[in-house]
Amino acid sequence: MSEIKGKTVIVTGGASGIGKAISMLFAEENAQVALLDIDVESATETVQEIRQNDGSVTFFECDVSDSEEVHETVDDVVDTYGGLDVLINNAGIAHVGTVEETTEEDLDRVYEVNVKGVYNCLKAGVEVMKGDGGGAIVNIASVASHVGIPDRFAYSMSKGAVLTMTYSVARDYVEDGIRCNAVSPARIHTPFVDGFLSENYPGEEEEMFEELSKTQPIGRMGDPEEVAKLCLYLSSDDAGFITGSSMPIDGGFMSLKD
């Protein structure tokens, strides 16, 4: 997409999983990628992969739950690349459990990253974009933002907040040229899924993988690259008429499930 070439893009949680796929695809499309993460080892590997393919990327170690650190990092990105055109709020953590099984510490931990972290990045990003004539923001929400998912009380809480923050920012800054949209994936096959199965279903990983895959009517999990492509479109000038939307990428999970 020529519409993304040369633009500066922040990807939070850009070192692995969906975030890695986003970082790599944007770099392939000749964007200038600012990869934010706390996992230095994985980030270093992703940066090396991108640079081996002649992509432009800089790693910024950043804890999105720390407001001061986020603002300092965004300032560093602007100093490095001269501005900010696109913000992808991908960083997030998971939690399994009903409300009874969710401790206050569990809830606080999920809130700090998935809600406060997105807020911190939105605040810092909007401040820059507003002064530069606009930009595009994509928040990674979830099907859990829209429908009830068993045993995902804290996670659903956080992703519901991501969706409503998306609507709020889109409404408040539309006249500043800032578009804000959300992407709502169902199950995506990432290293997190493999780790979850190994930890919780040792010896039954293959069977459980098939069972989880079939919860999507299309019969499989999504690929991180598929989510990345949707983020790329929403970030590009081709999506200039789209704001305040939540795009499902769920294999029919919300609309076709019995």
* Gap between the Cα atoms of 80 and 93, Å rounded: 28
| Rg of the chain, C-alpha, whole Å | 18
| Active-site pick, 155, 173, 201, 233 | 155
Establish whether 155 is a catalytic residue: yes
| The residue to which tokens 């609309």 are assigned | 255
Under a CB-based contact definition with an 8 Å cutoff, are residues 253 and 217 in contact?
yes
Close Cβ partners of 258 (under 8 Å, ≥ 6 residues apart): none
At residue 217, what is the residue type? Answer: P
Strand order across the beta sheet in which 56-61 lies: 56-61, 32-37, 8-12, 86-89, 135-140, 178-185, 246-249
Give the active site residues: 155
